[in-house]
Structure 1
Amino acid sequence: MSEHPGWPIAGAGAVAAIGRSPAEIFDALCAGTSGLHPMRGFDRSHYTGDRLFEIDDRVGSGDVPGRASAFLLDAIGQALADAGMGEQLGDTPVLVGTGLRELRSVELWAREGIPWSADRLHFGHALRERFGATVTYTFSNACSASLYALSMACDLLAGGAETVVVAGVDVVTESMV
């Protein structure tokens, strides 16, 4: 039996189809709110289904690049505020689990010629620009990648790290529908 007392979760942030914060999501779940809505970001004629659990933040029809990064930055910003931390992370490790990284942005580049740079496929640049984070890791391997990031965070804490930021993010892509 382990004698380790565990580590506290100091702050939480979340963005989902039913809310833009942990409190909004909790209230929506308690109210039985569904996030299932008509598909907005894709050409429906290519699919047999037409409804998704998308975060509906688009202005107009179509899709825009960088949404996964934007959701990630929003959720981390919320968590840092909830923890009473400033937004300058420096060398605090930031671990991000994702199934697809910014694949939707790459799809938009390939299909519609919307500019996107391959070095922004992972989240290091966005995290450095917003939070000054210099130690970032993006784990992209499956829907369970966030659990892998959480496990790595436990390893870092066990190894003596004082603070670790852990997050998960994905957006719906054409290749996953």
Structure 2
Amino acid sequence: MSRPVTAGRVVVGVDRSYAGLAALRAAVRLARRDGAPLYAVRAWTFVPLWRPGTMPWLWQEEFARAARAYVRDAFETALGGQPRDVTVRVLAEQGYAGQVLVDEAWRETDVLVVGSPRRGRFGSKGGHVTRYCVSRARVPVVTVPAPDWARADAIRRFGRDLERFPR
């Protein structure tokens, strides 16, 4: 039996953390597998201290431009550049990251991919954006953890191992 062709999209939250870069790689693999377009989303917020809730339009466009450049840099870091075999659309939206991602992935055929930091200090799993997306999205959400070598415990163990060597 062949798999049905979906007209859905793969929406990924872009972050240059280890978990975020792993999520970007996973989203590209998923888009390739399904032949779906990839929507790379970067949310940004800015509240000026001198007058909350207002911002000149010139600054707003500058922040959106910087967010799009951030997404291009993340593709460069994770994959060596944007993939040529996948249709990629870069979105820079103003707002809280979790809400922006949930609002963007609204079609029932969409899939939302987010990076998930390791278990928190108080036992909560994932970061606040990941928890928001998992609890409020109406589409399937794929959470991608950071690689094992990037977790803080592994880095601390590596540091302790280095200290054992004589100087």
Task: Report which of the two structures shows the higher radius of gyration computed on alpha carbons.
Answer: 2
Same fold (TM over 0.5): no
What TM-score, normalized to structure 1? Answer: 0.30
Larger relative helix fraction: 2
Higher relative contact order (CA 8 A, sep 6+): 2
Larger relative strand fraction: 2
